[in-house]
């Protein structure tokens, strides 16, 4: 067996299930699950119709590089979304089976375990970053994200770690806080890249859920605005959140052609080709913005109705993007808070400590819970009322 598997920590949801052992919600009260970031809005007809109409494609083997039409649809979307960003669909775009799979396999492509490379990650973070690093023979070094901005403190990373850094994961909009990198934040990160030569893997799967028209600046967009090329930069995006199709398992990677050439080679052996029906459904999704705008409207409505309820009892704030509330817990015990909510109100949220690792500066997730506003509007409002009532009773 691969002994590196022993270094993996349980996934946050597994830890939550363990923490809830022996705790039962009140009888007669339906459970409202807000702990998993799984969109509950209906999949758009433009996508499902394209999927069904292409079902004959299941009788053929697809190529790992995907259809030229899909790569072109992705390139066209990038140009529309990021102010004319121009990438070559032949060499700079690669379809992937969702960002989770791609982020993991990209690390296996970039890292050489023989040199025990360092991978720098935000903390809290999406656990795939750490698992991908460990299974590729690397060492994870964390940059804590704390109030008020909840963006990684790169200055906390030791110089010795930067010198060994081969890959850096960055997530903007951030999971779990919803914070967004501005142009100056990207400039700071690019300066570190120039100094130490690492590859940037930019996880941007929440980029299309934002408010008041403030579309987040992407990594490749920032590089173009700052007069840089795509060298040593690959961004990852997905249809899961943008188009409410997490089960479609579809996204793409874009950026440095040299890196994507090696990534394609790895994926050819890895067995990561996207089936033709999914490719055609993805083309339809990337070409349509109407369903995405409606998606944003629904999330904006949820926040508009949920925040006033929670703000009666908590310091709740609208994130810059994403569908998450990163809620500070009044007494600081995020685990006890989550257990109490489930026991008394049948509401499931995720303790922030499960998203982060202990560091010399502490665990930056401790004292927060992540609330995913993924259910229908009335259910999210009901959950907020239950949460506020439990806290009011506790006082």
Q: Write out the DSSP string of 40-95.
A: -SPPPHHHHHHHHHTGGGGGSPPPTT--HHHHHHHHHHHHHHTTT----TTTSEEE
Which token pair is 264? Answer: 């394609």
Q: What whole-number distance in Å separates Cα of residue 310 and Cα of residue 317?
A: 9
CA distance 107 to 136: 7
Q: Which of 283, 264, 218, 245 is nearest to 83 (CA)?
A: 218
**Would you say residue 31 has pLDDT above 60?**
yes
Domains and CATH numbers, the chain: 3-42+291-394 (3.90.1150.10), 45-288 (3.40.640.10)
DSSP conformation class of 113:
G
Q: CA 337: distance to chain centroid?
A: 24
Q: 394: pLDDT confidence band, cut at 50, 70 and 90?
A: low
Q: What is the pLDDT of residue 140?
A: 97
Q: How confident is the model at residue 12 (pLDDT cuts 50, 70, 90)?
A: very high
Tell me, what's the pLDDT at 46? 98
Closest CA to 216 of 206, 207, 226: 207
Mean pLDDT, residues 163-175 taken together: 98
Q: d(Cα 146, Cα 279) in Å, to the nearest integer?
A: 39
Beta strand spans in the chain (E): 32-33, 93-96, 118-123, 139-144, 165-171, 199-203, 233-238, 251-255, 324-328, 347-348, 350-351, 368-372
> What is the tens place of the pLDDT at every residue in 322-365?
999 999 998 899 999 999 999 999 999 999 999 999 999 999 99
- Going 93 to 94 to 98 to 101, the CA torsion angle's sign is negative
Instruction: Note the pLDDT of residue 27.
Output: 93
Q: Which tokens go with 159?
A: 């110089």
Angle at 387 between CA 241 and CA 15, to 5 degrees: 60
Mean pLDDT of 289-296: 97
Q: Cα 113 from chain centroid?
A: 25
Whether the per-residue pLDDT at 395 is higher than 60: the answer is: no
Tokens 């909840």 correspond to what residue? 150
**pLDDT given for residue 115 in this prediction:** 86
Instruction: Quote the percentage of the chain above a pLDDT of 90.
Output: 96
pLDDT at 393 over 80: no
Q: Which tokens in the block code for residue 344?
A: 């008394």
Mean pLDDT for the chain overall: 96
Query: Distance (Å, rounded) from C-alpha 231 to C-alpha 183?
Result: 18
Bond into 173 cis (ω within 30): yes
Strands 233-238 vs 165-171: parallel, antiparallel or unpaired: unpaired
Average pLDDT estimate for 11-26: 94
391 pLDDT tier (thresholds 50, 70, 90)? confident
pTM above the 0.85 mark? yes
Range scoring the smallest mean pLDDT among 149-153, 186-190, 389-393: 389-393
Angle CA 170–174–177, to nearest 5: 140
Q: Inform me whether the pLDDT recorded for 85 exceeds 60.
A: yes
Contact partners, residue 112, CB within 8 Å, separation at least 6: 137, 166
Of the candidates 107, 101, 105, 102, the residue with the CA atom closest to the CA atom of residue 121: 107
């Amino acid at each position: 067996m691969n002994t590196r598997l022993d270094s993996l920590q349980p996934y946050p949801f597994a830890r939550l299930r363990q923490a809830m052992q022996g705790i039962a919600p009140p009888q007669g009260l339906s459970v409202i699950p807000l702990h998993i970031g799984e969109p509950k809005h209906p999949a758009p007809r433009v996508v499902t119709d394209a999927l069904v109409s292409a079902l004959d494609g299941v009788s053929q083997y697809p190529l790992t590089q995907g259809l030229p039409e899909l790569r072109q649809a992705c390139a066209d979307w990038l140009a529309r979304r990021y102010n004319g960003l121009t990438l070559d669909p032949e060499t700079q775009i690669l379809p992937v089976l969702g960002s989770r799979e791609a982020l993991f396999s990209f690390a296996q492509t970039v890292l050489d375990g023989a040199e025990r490379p360092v991978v720098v990650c935000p903390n809290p973070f999406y656990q795939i970053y750490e698992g991908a690093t460990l299974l590729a023979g690397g060492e994870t070094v964390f940059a804590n994200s704390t109030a008020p901005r909840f963006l990684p403190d790169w200055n906390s990373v030791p110089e010795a770690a930067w010198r060994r850094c081969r890959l850096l994961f960055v997530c903007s909009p951030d999971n779990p806080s919803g914070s967004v990198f501005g142009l100056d934040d990207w400039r700071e990160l690019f300066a570190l890249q120039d100094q130490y030569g690492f590859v940037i893997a930019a996880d941007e799967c929440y980029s299309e859920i934002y408010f008041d028209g403030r579309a987040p600046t992407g990594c490749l967009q920032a590089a173009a605005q700052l007069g840089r090329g795509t060298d040593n930069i690959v961004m990852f995006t997905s249809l899961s959140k943008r188009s409410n199709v997490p089960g479609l398992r579809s996204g793409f990677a874009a950026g440095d052609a040299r890196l994507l050439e090696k990534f394609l080679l790895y994926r050819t052996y890895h067995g990561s080709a996207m089936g033709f029906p999914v490719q055609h459904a993805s083309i339809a999704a990337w070409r349509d913005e109407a369903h995405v705008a409606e998606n944003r409207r629904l999330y904006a409505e949820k926040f508009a109705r949920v925040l006033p309820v929670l703000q009666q009892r908590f310091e709740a704030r609208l994130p810059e993007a994403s569908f998450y509330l990163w809620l500070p817990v009044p007494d600081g015990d995020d685990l006890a808070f989550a257990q109490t909510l489930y026991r008394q109100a049948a509401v499931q949220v995720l303790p922030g400590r499960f998203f982060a690792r202990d560091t010399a500066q502490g665990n930056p997730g401790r004292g927060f819970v992540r609330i995913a506003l993924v259910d229908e509007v009335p259910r999210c409002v009901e959950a907020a009322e239950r949460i506020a009532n439990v806290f009011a009773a506790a006082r």
